Amino acid sequence: MRPILPFFAVAITLIACAAAGTSDSAPAAPGTAVPTVSDEGLAPSYPPSATEGERGVAIFAGGCFWCVESEYDDLPGVFAAVSGYIGGPETAPTYKQVASGATGHTEAVRVVFDPSVVTYEQLLDRFWKNHDPFRADAQFCDRGTQYRPGIFPLDADQREAAHRTKGEVAKRFGEDVVTEITDAGVFWTAEDYHQDFHHKNPGHYLRYRMGCGRDKRLKEIWGSSE
């Protein structure tokens, strides 16, 4: 088994995804593909659906949603990558509730994409290579069920692709892959200050990402050429 990333206790206390707090950044512009809200409002929910008209929808969880969102935000063919919560029974969970680990949700990202430009399989490939598939209830420096990695299929085709590629990863490394595959339930959009965090607060984002050892661990697993 590959060595587990050490926990940077002091640094992460200051810059971890779970300790971000609110931002002074202005709210996202209205009219975005998936609306966001402030702490004072309830996050809109999205019932499971693999399409929005001619657009495809995919949901992935790979630890702190800031870092998962940033991997898809600027990908050609992606209309929107939105941070939120999935996997728990609570209605309209807040960040503070989810961060406590008590709601059953995990931080996730809902990707709305153009299937004629980027396929679900390509989105899956990017997902696998940007999280640690060998750690359950934790990713990098973040620990707890709210950081468990997962794929949340929205139809039979997505479910088949998720299981097939999970098997390919397990075969490649000769290890059990703990990334969960669970049919999607309701996805709740996270508070506005979490959306596009890597653009709104690039300094904080980069300090967190480096301090959490995310890129170091990804290189250990996938190599520098991935």
Could you tell me the two tokens for 97? 């509730």
Contact criterion met (CB below 8 Å) for 25 and 201: yes
Give SS3 for 198.
helix
In 3D, which of 23, 12, 37 has the Cα closest to residue 199?
23
CA dihedral (21, 98, 124, 143) positive or negative: positive
Please state whether beta strands 106-113 and 78-86 pair in parallel, antiparallel, or not at all (unpaired): antiparallel
Of 114, 106, 70, nearest in space to 86 by CA = 106
Which of 64, 67, 141, 212 is catalytic? The answer is 64
Burial class (CB in 10 A: 0-12, 13-18, 19+), 169: middle
Residue 64 annotated among the catalytic residues of the structure: yes
Helix axes 202-211, 214-222, angle to 10 degrees: 50
List the catalytic residues. Answer: 64
